[in-house]
Every structure is written in C-alpha cells, then in structure tokens.
C-alpha cells in the first residue's frame, strides 16, 4: 500500500503520544503512522488498543538512544515527518535519577536528529517536505512569580469577558521569547534537547519546530502524576500526598486539545518557529485537588466532603517550581488554535474515564500492562 506520508511518532505508547497517534491514524488514513516506543514503565500498548489493527498503523519497539536502529528505521520506512514525544517525563523521578533523563531526553533526541539528518540529506529533494517536530514543556522557562489576588474564589478562569487573558496568580506569563531557566533535572534535560533541535536547524538547515506546552490531563496518564494518582487514591481511600502547602500553580490543558494543537502545528506551523501551547487555566494545586475530590465523591455516590480527610500534607518537592502559566496567543493568532474544553468539563470527563476504566488503572498498578507487548507482538 502506498501512503502519502510516512510519519514516525516517538513515545506513542505514552500518555500524550497515544492521543496523537490515535488522532493521526483516524484522521489521516492516507498517512502511514509508525509509533515508536521503548515501552518503559510509562509506555502502555493498552493505550492504543482501539487502533492497533488499523491498516495505516505500525508499532515498533525501540530505544531512541539507539542511533543505528533509528537510522535504519527512518530509512526503511522512508520517514518524512517525525513528531518526537518520547521522553522521561516525571519530575520526581528526575530528582532521584537524573542520568536516565539526560540519556533519554538529551542523547535520545540527538540520536533521532542525527538519524533524520543523515537520511534526509541523502534524498534528491533533501529537506523539502520534511519536518522534525519536537514536543517540549513550559517547565524549561523556569518558574513565575506567585501573587495572591484578594477576594477571588476558585475556579479561576483567566479569560476576561473582553476576551483578553489575565494571569490569575501573577502579573506575567511564559511567552515564546521568555529566557530558558530550568530548575529540575527533568526541565534541564528538556531545555537541552530543545537547544539541540534548534541547533540542528541553525547549523544544518534541518526543518524543525519546537512547541512548549503546559500541564496536560485526561485519559491514559500514568498514575504517578497528580490528577490520575489522586483519582486512583480517592477511589482506593488512600492518602492524597499534597506537596508543601499545595500553593503551587499549574496551567492545565486537556490532552486532546494538545493533540489537536500538534496536528495544526505539524501541518501549518512555520519551520524553525516555536509555539507555546496552554489553556489559560491556572489552578493552585489545593483548589484543583478539592475539585477532584468533589467530582470523584459525587460520581462514586459518596456524601459531599467524604474524601477531604484523605488530604495529607507532605514534605515539599525539592526545587518545586511555584507557578507555570503559558501565553498561547501566538498559536491562536497565527494558526487559529484554541482549547475546546472548559476545565470543569474536562475534569468531569477525565474522572469519569478513570472510574469507567478501573481495569486500566489496576493493570498499571499491578504491573500487568507490561506483558501486553509479548502477547500482541511476540506470541502471535
């Protein structure tokens, strides 16, 4: 079968990657989507169960740090577009084991960049019609100042009726022009990979785009991150470990909105450019946790406030960034992308999904999900 494009999506078995793979496989039957993933603890083929039989989908288990393998795969599939999401992504793990983050996020990205460069430079039309699209995070910008507005009660919509955006907890946002100032080993490794991507454009002319997105939430997120961890703990009546005073602020975006942004940028973004992606949706952790508790209790039929007692304040994360807030106006003004979901709607959908898919959560927490590759690809 001949396809119009051959697109490699790395980290496609992870949280965001699986939504991007699903969107591309369903929306573009004339593209061949090669989902490449090492299947670390965070990779789960059950995230892709509904599309694994699609004729335009291929899964490859591989490590992006394996340069020879990356080159061979890119050549064999004649890849013309790479959407690079594979990474170690959890800040707490990076504090315990920074080497793994440098290896995957920095050296892995470098190995993919070099493999793409070698293959594309050998083509008659070289870089024409090619794209290396690198998915990064707002955490590379560091942390913003946190102020406490008087008399404002959550939820904090940052969209004024005029349509202009106002920062809920400070006077500023992260812009595409904000200087990099990473604090955690995770964000330092992502910042380094962003620099390598831009260096490959500036030095060799490799067609690249970088996007920096705020915190994502939604189905298929590994339950070590705040929202799925807390939903799972509420349902199992386990403590909810709130770091510090729960005052830190994050800007939350529904994962399918991120996947739509990636689609828009992959097809219409300007080469060598950078776009910030975010929901203008700042929440203090403790306020968000209270909304989660209320929603889970309601959907489980518990009396209101039933799970508040599970909140447990614990020692703060080392170097815990106080506030993230993305200004994504450039993406809206230049490419027309906007988030589609209000936060309350997104949280309701998310909680319902985890409660309706408890076996997915149970398989992860028991470790059973990791056998799925052998069942699907080795023993068939």
Q: Is 285 in the site for ligand TYD (CB under 6 A)?
A: yes
For ligand NAD, give the closer residue by CB, 213 or 293. 213
139 in catalytic set: yes
Q: Which of 88, 138, 194, 257 is catalytic?
A: 138
Among 44, 248, 281, 295, binds ligand TYD (CB under 6 A): 248
CB of 376 to ligand TYD, least distance (A): 29
Lookup: tokens for 267: 């097809």
Place of tokens 């993919």: 112
Q: Is 346 in the site for ligand NAD (CB under 6 A)?
A: no
Contact region with ligand TYD (CB under 6 A), list: 8-16, 222-230, 275-283, 361-369: 222-230
Taking each helix axis from N to C end, the angle separating 226-235 and 285-300, rounded to the nearest 10 degrees, works out to 40
Q: Is 130 in the site for ligand TYD (CB under 6 A)?
A: no
First to last CA, the chain: 23
Lookup: tokens for 260: 């739509």
For ligand TYD, give the closer residue by CB, 214 or 274. 214
Q: Is 215 in the site for ligand TYD (CB under 6 A)?
A: yes
Q: Is 16 in the site for ligand NAD (CB under 6 A)?
A: yes
In three-state secondary structure terms, 135 is strand
Q: Is 253 in the site for ligand TYD (CB under 6 A)?
A: no
What are the two backbone dihedrals, phi and then psi, of residue 270, each rounded to the nearest 5 degrees? -85, 130
Contact region with ligand NAD (CB under 6 A), list: 6-14, 144-152, 174-182, 348-356: 6-14
Report the distance separating Cα 58 and Cα 245, nearest Å.
45
Contact region with ligand NAD (CB under 6 A), list: 212-220, 236-244, 287-295, 321-329: 212-220
For ligand NAD, give the closer residue by CB, 211 or 307. 211
Sorted by sequence, the CB contacts under 8 Å of residue 103 that are 6+ apart come out as 65
145 in catalytic set: no
| Separation in Å, CA 47 to CA 12, 52, 63, 91, 333 | 9, 10, 19, 22, 33
Report the distance separating Cα 190 and Cα 194, nearest Å.
6
Among 223, 241, 306, 353, binds ligand TYD (CB under 6 A): 241
DSSP H/E element including 91: helix 91-96
Number of residues that bind ligand NAD (CB under 6 A): 30
Short-list 165, 185, 289, 189, CA closest to 239: 289
CB of 122 to ligand NAD, least distance (A): 24
CB of 344 to ligand NAD, least distance (A): 19
CB of 248 to ligand TYD, least distance (A): 4
For ligand NAD, give the closer residue by CB, 302 or 363. 363
Q: Which of 63, 80, 88, 139 is catalytic?
A: 139
CB atoms within 10 A of CB 192: 20
Among 6, 7, 9, 15, binds ligand NAD (CB under 6 A): 15
x/- letters, 79..118, toward ligand NAD (CB under 6 A): ------xxxxx--------------x---x----------
DSSP, res 171? S
Q: Which residues on adjacent β-strands are paired with residue 252? A: 215
Report the distance separating Cα 35 and Cα 257, nearest Å.
20
CB of 90 to ligand NAD, least distance (A): 7
| Separation in Å, CA 172 to CA 147, 155, 282 | 10, 19, 12
The number of residues in the chain equals 380
Q: Is 286 exposed, middle or buried (CB count within 10 Å of its CB: 0-12, 13-18, 19+)?
A: middle
Q: Is 14 in the site for ligand NAD (CB under 6 A)?
A: yes
Report the distance separating Cα 380 and Cα 374, nearest Å.
8
What are the two backbone dihedrals, phi and then psi, of residue 241, each rounded to the nearest 5 degrees? -75, 105
Residues in contact with ligand NAD by the rule CB under 6 A: 10-11, 13-17, 37-40, 42-43, 63-65, 85-89, 104, 108, 135, 137, 190, 213, 215-216, 222
Catalytic residues: 138-139, 186
Residues in contact with ligand TYD by the rule CB under 6 A: 91, 215, 225-226, 229, 241-243, 248, 250, 285, 317
């Amino acid at each position: 079968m001949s396809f119009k494009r051959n697109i490699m999506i790395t980290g496609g078995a992870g949280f965001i990657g699986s939504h991007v793979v699903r969107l591309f496989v369903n929306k573009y039957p004339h593209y061949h989507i090669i989902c490449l993933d090492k299947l670390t603890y965070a990779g789960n083929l059950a995230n892709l169960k509904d599309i694994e039989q699609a004729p335009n989908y291929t899964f490859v288990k591989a490590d992006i740090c394996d340069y020879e393998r990356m080159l061979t795969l890119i050549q064999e599939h004649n890849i013309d577009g790479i959407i690079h999401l594979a990474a170690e992504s959890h800040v707490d793990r990076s504090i315990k084991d920074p080497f793994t983050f440098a290896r995957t996020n920095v050296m892995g990205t470098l190995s993919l960049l070099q493999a793409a460069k070698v293959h594309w430079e050998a083509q008659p039309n070289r870089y024409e019609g090619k794209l290396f699209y690198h998915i990064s995070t707002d955490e590379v910008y560091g942390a913003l100042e946190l102020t406490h507005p008087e008399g404002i009660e959550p939820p904090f919509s940052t969209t004024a009726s005029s349509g202009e955006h106002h920062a809920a907890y400070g006077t500023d946002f992260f812009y595409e022009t904000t200087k990099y100032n990473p604090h955690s080993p995770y964000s330092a490794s992502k910042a380094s990979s962003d620099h390598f991507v831009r260096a490959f454009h500036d030095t060799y002319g490799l067609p690249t785009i970088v996007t920096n997105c705020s915190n994502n939430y939604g189905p298929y997120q590994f339950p070590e991150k705040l929202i799925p961890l807390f939903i799972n703990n509420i349902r199992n009546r386990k403590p909810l470990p709130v770091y510090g005073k729960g005052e830190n602020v994050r800007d939350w975006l529904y994962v399918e909105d991120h996947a739509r942004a990636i689609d828009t940028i992959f097809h219409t973004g300007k080469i060598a450019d950078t776009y910030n992606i975010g929901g203008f949706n700042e929440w203090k952790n403790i306020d968000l946790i209270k909304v989660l508790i209320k929603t889970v209790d309601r959907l489980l039929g518990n009396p209101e406030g039933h799970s508040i007692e599970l909140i447990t304040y614990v020692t703060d994360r080392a170097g815990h960034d106080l506030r993230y807030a993305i200004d994504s106006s450039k993406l809206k003004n230049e490419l027309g992308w906007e988030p589609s979901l209000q936060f309350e709607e997104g949280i309701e959908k998310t909680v319902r999904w985890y409660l309706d898919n408890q076996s997915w959560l149970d398989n992860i927490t028991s470790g059973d999900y990791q056998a799925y590759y052998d069942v699907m690809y080795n023993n068939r």
